[in-house]
Amino acid sequence: MSDSYFHRVHGMSPTRLWINNPTPEEARKSINAGAIACTTNPTYVANQLKRPNMKQTVNGIIDNAVRRTDNDHQAVDLVMQDLLRPVMAQFLPLYERDSQNAGFVSIQGNPLLDHNADHIIREALEYRKLGANFIAKIAVTTAGLKAIEAMIEESIPVIATEVMGLPQAIATCELYDRTSKRSGNRPPLFVTHITGIFDDYIREAAAREGINIAPDLLWQAGTILARRQYAMMQQRNYPGIMLGGGARGLHHFTEFVGGNMHITINWEGSAADLVEQNPAVVWRMFNPAPERVVSELLEKLPAFKSAYLEDGLQPDAFADFGPVQFFRDMFVKGWNDAAEAVRQRRAANGAA
């Protein structure tokens, strides 16, 4: 076993590392460090354009895309696919060794159309052509659940994303159970909890609304929810592997070590820092939260209560749930920024 941090995590616990939104070089480094799979999101193109070592490559791909379509948003989608081909190729050997658990590269399409189940399904069927290790990444909303059902029926692996609370996780797992029994298909399923984004949302909400609550409690709110979701999935023997996401600090990995779950984090500022710091591998997943902490969070933060209670949200409220909308807004901004970059390149090249 390697002495590096993530290899030790893998050797000493069931917890596994995924890498989020990597460049091809970061994908290589992350695999060497122990990453077993990869997530991306609709900000991918915009994020790559911000990387000095990627900007020329991305602009070249944009120039090719604008010759293939007059629609700037379709061009963003084409650019994203072209950028991810080499990343998928790097993870493919891991998939070929373990096609149920490793080697996946997720793609999540145009967030401006994520209310349209048919569009989500069409995107996923198109992305599937990129490689065997594609995994669909679909938000748990009313439209998203319909698309997830279609993925199961097509036996396409799926990440159920934008999960902020127990009601979304329950809806996903029970949908999978029903659909797999009916269809006979059991593709790999990963059920997220977007822990760090939830923390960001409630911290901003508490400040905006003048809620008197200690920062120490806000720091652990998302972690408490994620641990509760994990325990519920284990106790009910629900299908799928829990996938932690939306990390905003190293604790959004280290606090879950010991759980039979996977966690996706960025390379720069997260995984690379843990490799460099090389902390001790400590099982923290099962540390209980004091009852008074949970009680105060439930009392003072309505979003925490909605996420914590099994019946705190109905499916038709998933898309408009504050933390979900907060996360989606980031995707919309990133996608629109990429579309604007496409528009500018198109104009500069005289292709408008």
Nearest to 342 by CA among 124, 115, 61: 61
> Residue 79 in contact with residue 104, Cβ under 8 Å?
no
How confident is the model at residue 349, as a pLDDT? 86
pLDDT per residue over 9-47, tens digit each? 999 999 999 999 999 999 999 999 999 999 999 999 999
pLDDT per residue over 150-194, tens digit each? 999 999 999 999 999 999 999 999 999 999 999 999 999 999 999
CATH at residue 90: 3.20.20.70
Nearest to 151 by CA among 191, 124, 177: 124
88 CB-contact burial (10 Å; exposed 0-12 / middle 13-18 / buried 19+): buried
* CA pair distance 330, 328, nearest whole angstrom: 5
211: left (phi over 0), alpha (psi -120 to 50) or beta: beta
Q: Dihedral of the CA atoms 95, 133, 12, 17 (nearest 10)?
A: 150
How confident is the model at residue 351, as a pLDDT? 53
- Please, which contacts does 168-172 make with residues 24 or more away whose CB atoms are closer than 8 Å? 168/140, 168/313, 168/318, 169/140, 169/193, 169/229, 169/232, 169/233, 169/238, 170/232, 170/310, 171/140, 171/145, 171/315, 171/318, 172/140, 172/145, 172/148, 172/240
**Which 8-state DSSP code applies to residue 281?**
-
Show the domain range for 165.
5-348
> Residue 108 in contact with residue 161, Cβ under 8 Å?
yes
* CA pair distance 136, 184, nearest whole angstrom: 19
Q: b/e map of 50-76 (b: 16 or more CB within 10 Å)?
A: eeeebeebbbebbbebbeeeeebbbbb
The number of domains in the chain is 1
- Between 345 and 352, the higher pLDDT residue: 345
Tokens 């399923």 correspond to what residue?
189
Q: Is the dihedral of CA 221, 225, 230, 236 positive or negative?
A: positive
pLDDT per residue over 59-71, tens digit each? 999 999 999 999 9
* CA pair distance 88, 105, nearest whole angstrom: 6
- Alpha-helix runs per DSSP H in the chain: 5-12, 24-33, 44-49, 55-66, 72-97, 117-127, 142-153, 166-183, 195-209, 215-235, 251-254, 272-277, 291-300, 302-308, 322-348
pLDDT per residue over 204-238, tens digit each? 999 999 999 999 999 999 999 999 999 999 999 99
Residue 350 banded pLDDT, cuts 50, 70, 90: confident
pLDDT per residue over 118-162, tens digit each? 999 999 999 999 999 999 999 999 999 999 999 999 999 999 999
How confident is the model at residue 313, as a pLDDT? 98
